[in-house]
């Protein structure tokens, strides 16, 4: 399986369990690795035979900016399901970063990583 990766997609969302997170929102960063067979696209040099990563990026941003959820696990699942709607995408790894999570001790990042596939 070939891989197409998008790293560092940024969007503001209102996800979290605390009222301040829902009211003020915060930046979320998403990394994706899409699993698909790129050979047909490469053989014909044809965008329609692969995944249009620009469209995927816009859809992911729309999910992050969309309906708030409590957990970044839920957000990651929604992103994965959106990616799998693309016919060529057989699997996806989603990493959701929440660098401004409400944690009271010094930290660099909080992430949730999930992998989903059609099978």
- Residue 6: what pLDDT? 98
Q: Exactly one of 20, 49, 85, 98 is catalytic; which is it? A: 98
- Threshold 0.75, pTM exceeds: yes
pLDDT score of 119 more than 80: no
Distance (Å, rounded) from C-alpha 50 to C-alpha 67? 29
Task: Judge whether 98 counts as a catalytic residue.
Answer: yes
| pLDDT exceeds cutoff 90 at 71 | yes
Query: What phi and psi, each to the nearest 5 degrees, are found at residue 72?
Result: -70, -20
């Amino acid at each position: 399986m070939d891989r197409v990766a998008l790293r560092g997609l940024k969007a503001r969302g209102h996800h979290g369990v605390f009222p301040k997170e829902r009211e003020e929102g915060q930046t979320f960063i998403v990394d994706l690795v899409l699993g698909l067979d790129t050979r047909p696209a490469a053989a014909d040099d044809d965008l329609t035979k692969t995944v249009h990563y620009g469209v995927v990026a816009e859809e992911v941003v729309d999910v992050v900016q969309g309906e708030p959820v409590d957990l970044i696990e839920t957000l990651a699942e929604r992103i994965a399901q959106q990616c799998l709607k693309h016919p060529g995408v057989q699997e996806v790894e989603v990493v959701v970063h929440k660098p401004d999570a409400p944690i009271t001790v010094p930290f660099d990042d909080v992430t949730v990583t999930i992998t989903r596939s059609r099978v």
